[in-house]
């Protein structure tokens, strides 16, 4: 039996992981499960998965959680510190499925106390890539990506050396606005932006997919994970979302990883790594599929990708700047303060500011957090003028 903790069990990644684990209960003992606000779902998952510890990050829901779990023998706690304490409990595998910047500190902590960090929270690599990699190296922790593109690249790289890689081709579905004009993009609503044509995901990553900020984050994530130079990174739109990404080598050969658009594949792979265990996902049928399409990215409509390349070129903590501005811009879009296309303007503004005043840093978490807070305030101020 291997021990596993699931951070963000009430979310899209977390619930998919819980479904896999419920079917593999002979292989895993669940140590910790955590949720942010959704107490009902957290209590439901606790009863289903029988973990040792149940943590609700928003402490105001702690009493409600305790009431829902009366008669059960879980150790229940709440609040930010309780979440970090839970990440400090040694386990074989930590699955990191918290969304956004709140997941970063949790990943950095779990990386010290887990044999494998199965990482869905891409913000951890975007904001703190070198720090996270360093912690994993020191503690001999295996970092296995859960993001489908990075899981694909990881699988293509098995038995290969990074020196022989000519290019990494990240695929993207193109999102709900692939065929929407730039004029119409100005007035799209959060609801329209959150309805992804292929993948079923949380609200924030769905809107990031519509703006291609998700792909932009994934470019930085790829660079941090595989340590490749930016000129080797390409993005191709693959509208069917069947090819999850590809790696081209110096002999002209290209490896691709294919599968249905279902995160169970990447989650199952990461938690069972280095083994492959059976999963009850849909199997591809090429004769039904018949065709795979490829399209270029429209950088005028989707400036996010070029902004992420700029963040890589700026270096230092520009990834944390990129993420803070993107998260704050998304919050402003969600409450109707700015338009869909303004989100890229906010990120460009933040990168300009950071480039002009590259704050001295030691790449410790406290510096990253300070920069994150500072950039959010600057974006709010700037957005008032939009
Ligand atoms: P989601 O919104 O569905 O779930 C997020 C989880 O994080 C929930 O359990 C929520 O309670 C928890 N959470 C939110 N704020 C928190 C806070 N302040 N403190 C502690 N916990 C908090 O998100 P998701 O779609 O499952 O995505 C999770 C992560 O995985 C994101 O980083 C996303 O980019 C990445 N990812 C998701 C998918 C997908 O298919 N959903 C695919 C690839 C990568
Ligand atoms: Mg992805």
Q: Ligand 1 centre from 7 Cα, in Å? A: 9
**Residue 10 in contact with ligand 1 by CB distance below 6 A:** yes
What is the CA(127)–ligand 1 centre distance, in A?
A: 16
pLDDT grade, residue 199 (50/70/90)?
confident
CA angle (320, 323, 327) in 5-degree steps: 140
Nearest ligand 1 atom, CA 14: 26
Cα-to-centroid distance, 290 and ligand 1 (Å): 34
Atom nearest to 204 CA in ligand 1: 2
Coil, strand, or helix at residue 258? strand
The residue with tokens 């303060």 is 337
> Cβ distance 236 to 134 under 8 Å?
no
The pLDDT of residue 370 is 95
For the record, the structure tokens of 286 come out as 């090429």
Q: Is 136 in the pocket of ligand 1 (CB under 6 A)?
A: no
Rounded to the nearest whole angstrom, what is the distance from the C-alpha of residue 76 to the centroid of ligand 2?
32
Confidence of residue 359 (pLDDT cuts 50, 70, 90): confident
Residue at token pair 């899981």? 151
Look up the pTM and report it: 0.97
Q: What's the whole-number mean pLDDT along residues 253-268?
A: 98
CA-to-CA distance for 104 and 363, rounded, in angstroms? 13
Residue 361 has pLDDT above 80, yes or no: no
Q: Supply the pLDDT for residue 23.
A: 87
The pair of three-digit structure tokens given for residue 100, joined into one six-digit string: 């956004």
Least distant ligand from the CA of 199: 1
CA–CA separation, 383 and 2 (whole Å): 48
Q: Is any ligand 1 atom within 6 A of the Cβ of residue 172?
A: no
Q: What is the pLDDT of residue 129?
A: 97
Atom of ligand 1 nearest to the CA of 199: 40
Ligand 1: residue whose CA is nearest its atom 13: 36
CA atoms within 13 A on the CB side of 172: 30
Q: Are 238 and 294 in contact (CB under 8 A)?
A: yes
- Provide the terminal-to-terminal Cα distance of the chain, rounded to the nearest Å: 55
Residues 93, 2 contacting (CB under 8 angstroms): yes
- Choose which residue among 152, 175, 198, 202 to substitute to test ligand 1 binding: the one with the highest number of ligand atoms within 8 A of its C-beta: 202
Answer whether the bond into residue 274 is a cis peptide, omega within 30°. yes
Q: What is the pLDDT of residue 177?
A: 97
Q: Is 145 in the pocket of ligand 1 (CB under 6 A)?
A: no
For residues 221 and 218, give the distance between their C-alpha atoms in angstroms, rounded to a whole number: 5
Give Cα separations from 219 to 111, 122, 175, 215, 330 (angstroms): 22, 10, 16, 6, 19
* 272 Cβ contact partners less than 8 Å away, ≥ 6 residues apart: none
What residue owns the CA closest to ligand 1's atom 40? 201
Higher-confidence residue of 23 and 113: namely 113
Domain edges within the chain = 2-145, 151-289, 315-383
Q: Lay out the sheet containing 91-96: strands in order across.
A: 75-78, 53-56, 28-35, 2-7, 91-96, 114-119, 142-145
Cα–ligand 2 centroid distance for 266 (angstroms): 10
pLDDT tens-digit map of 23-39: 888 899 999 999 999 99
Distance between CA atoms of 237 and 170, rounded to whole angstroms? 8
Distance 173 CA to ligand 2 centre (A): 10
Instruction: Decide whether any atom of ligand 1 lies within 6 Å of the 323 Cβ.
Output: no
Q: Could you tell me if the CB of 35 is within 6 A of ligand 1?
A: yes
The span from the CA of 143 to the CA of 138, in Å, is: 12
| 276 band by pLDDT with thresholds 50, 70 and 90 | very high
- CATH number of the domain at 2-145, please? 3.40.50.720
From the CB of 8, is ligand 1 less than 6 Å away? yes
pLDDT digit string, tens, across residues 53-88: 999 999 999 999 999 999 999 999 999 999 999 999
Q: How many residues does the chain have?
A: 386
Query: Mean pLDDT across the stretch 349-359?
Result: 93
121 lines ligand 1 (CB under 6 A): yes
123 Cβ below 6 A of ligand 1: yes
CATH T-level topology, domain 315-383: Rna Polymerase Sigma Factor; Chain: A (1.10.1740)
């Amino acid at each position: 039996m291997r021990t596993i903790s699931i951070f963000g069990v009430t979310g899209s990644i977390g619930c998919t992981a819980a479904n896999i684990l419920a079917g593999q209960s002979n292989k895993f003992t669940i140590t910790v499960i955590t949720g942010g606000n959704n107490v009902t779902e957290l209590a439901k998952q606790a009863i289903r998965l029988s973990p040792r510890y149940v943590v609700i990050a928003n402490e105001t829901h702690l009493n409600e959680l305790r009431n829902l779990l009366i008669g059960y023998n879980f150790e229940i706690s709440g609040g930010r510190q309780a979440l970090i304490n839970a990440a400090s409990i040694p386990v074989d595998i930590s699955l990191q499925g918290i969304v956004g910047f709140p997941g970063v500190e949790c990943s950095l902590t779990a990386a010290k106390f887990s044999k494998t960090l199965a990482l869905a929270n891409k913000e951890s690599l975007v904001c703190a890539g070198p720090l996270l990699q360093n912690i994993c190296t020191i503690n001999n922790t295996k970092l296995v990506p859960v993001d489908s593109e990075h899981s694909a690249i990881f699988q293509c790289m098995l038995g290969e050396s990074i020196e022989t890689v000519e290019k990494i081709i990240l695929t993207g579905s193109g999102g709900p606005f692939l065929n929407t004009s730039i004029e119409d993009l100005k007035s799209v609503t959060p609801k329209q932006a959150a309805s992804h044509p292929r993948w079923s995901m949380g609200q924030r990553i769905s809107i990031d997919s519509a703006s291609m900020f998700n792909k932009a984050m994934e470019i930085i994530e790829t660079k941090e994970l595989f340590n490749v130079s930016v000129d080797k990174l390409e993005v191709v739109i693959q509208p069917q979302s069947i090819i999850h990404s590809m790696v081209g080598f110096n002999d002209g050969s290209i490896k691709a990883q294919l599968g249905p658009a279902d995160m169970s594949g990447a989650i199952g792979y990461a938690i069972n790594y280095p083994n492959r265990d059976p999963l009850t996902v849909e199997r591809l049928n090429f004769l039904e599929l018949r065709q795979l399409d490829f399209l270029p990215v429209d950088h005028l409509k989707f400036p996010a990708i070029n902004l992420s390349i700029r963040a890589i070129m700026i270096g230092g903590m520009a990834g944390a700047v990129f993420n803070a501005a993107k998260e704050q811009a998304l919050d402003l879009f969600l409450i109707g303060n700015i338009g869909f296309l303004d989100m890229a303007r906010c990120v460009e503004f933040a990168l300009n500011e950071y480039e002009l005043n590259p704050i001295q840093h030691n790449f410790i978490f406290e510096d990253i957090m300070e920069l994150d807070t500072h950039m959010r305030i600057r974006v709010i101020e700037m957005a008032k003028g939009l």
